[in-house]
């Protein structure tokens, strides 16, 4: 939970004065509505991002995010405080999104990268840099969308949500070695795809 984006998303909630997740969960279980709202405020962004990258449809991702919170709150009294709360929530979100893919779309779905909006998360130096970033984001987002869903989820959890491989293994319910394999193969496939699109030495992605 410490990537640039997640850090930005959680910044107001993770200062020294703010309660830890375990404390917030404890208060929610005691009936505090403010604590429930705090959980929503902290986790709506990371969960939405993960789900959107899995299902590749923003509107559906928002619906699924709502459903994930309903599921999570329903199971909150069974949450094991020995686990990280974020991993627990990501597990529910990951499984719920995969269930939706399997039941509604089938596991492999066609991808339209335009459905996931590109919003710059950091200021850029110049219009040229902005344009290059947009081109790179387009190509990479499109390539990411063509990956197997397991690879895509692993990449998002590792490089956007900054989870460790062990945490990703816990979220995805697979051994840590499998996560390593997913990440390695994902990177290889993405590299192949990007090179084919003209990125790399001597190219700036204009070759497609």
Partner 1 sequence: MTEPDWGERATRWLEADRREHAVEAEAAFGAVMHAIARVEPTDDLEARIWRATSGVRLRLRAIRLLRLVGAGAAAASLAGATLYVASGVVVALSVRLLSGLLTGLVRAFVWLTLAFSEGVDLWSFLGRAGQRLSSAVFSSQAAAALVLFELLGALAFYVLNRVLAREKELSP
101 vs 194 by CB, closer to partner 1: 194
Work out which of 83, 177, 184, 208 binds partner 1, going by CB under 8 A. 184
Q: Which of 1, 10, 25, 154 forms a contact with partner 1 (CB under 8 A)? A: 25
Interaction of residue 166 with partner 1, rule CB under 8 A? no
* Position 15 contacts partner 1 (CB under 8 A): no
Torsion of CA 68, 73, 75, 81, to 10 degrees: 110
Which residues does residue 200 pair with via DSSP β-bridges, in sequence order?
A: 203
* 11 is an interface residue for partner 1 by CB under 8 A: no
Residue closer to partner 1, measured from CB, 41 or 146: 41
Alpha-carbon distance 115 to 33, whole Å? 34
Q: Is 146 in the site for partner 1 (CB under 8 A)?
A: no
Choice from 16, 82, 123, 127 touching partner 1 (CB under 8 A): 82
CA 170 – CA 174 distance, rounded (Å):
7
CB 71 within 8 A of CB 96: yes
Give, in degrees to the nearest 5, the angle at Cα 90 between 85 and 92: 100
Is residue 73 part of the contact set for partner 1 (CB under 8 A)? yes
Size of the site for partner 1 (CB under 8 A): 70
Residue 181 half-sphere exposure, CB side, CA atoms within 13 Å?
7
Tell me the closest approach of the beta carbon of residue 102 to partner 1, in angstroms: 21
Establish if 58 lies at the interface with partner 1 (CB under 8 A): yes
């Amino acid at each position: 939970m410490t990537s640039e984006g997640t850090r930005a998303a959680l910044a107001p909630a993770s200062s020294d004065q703010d309660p830890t997740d375990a404390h917030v969960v404890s208060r929610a279980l005691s009936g505090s509505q403010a604590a429930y709202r705090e959980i929503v405020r902290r986790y709506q962004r990371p969960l939405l991002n993960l789900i959107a990258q899995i299902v590749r449809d923003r509107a559906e991702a928002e619906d699924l995010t709502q459903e994930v919170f309903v599921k999570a709150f329903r199971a909150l009294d069974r949450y094991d405080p020995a686990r990280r709360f974020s991993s627990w929530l990501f597990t529910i979100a990951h499984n719920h999104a995969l269930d939706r893919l399997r039941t509604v779309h089938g596991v492999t779905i066609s991808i339209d990268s335009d459905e996931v909006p590109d919003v710059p998360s950091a200021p850029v130096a110049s219009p040229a840099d902005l344009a290059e970033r947009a081109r790179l984001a387009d190509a990479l987002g499109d390539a990411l969308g063509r990956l197997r869903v397991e690879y895509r989820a692993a990449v998002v959890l590792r490089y956007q949500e900054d989870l460790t491989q062990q945490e990703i293994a816990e979220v995805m319910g697979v051994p840590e070695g499998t996560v390593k394999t997913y990440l390695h193969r994902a990177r290889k496939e993405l590299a192949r795809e990007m090179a084919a699109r003209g990125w790399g030495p001597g190219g700036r992605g204009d070759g497609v």
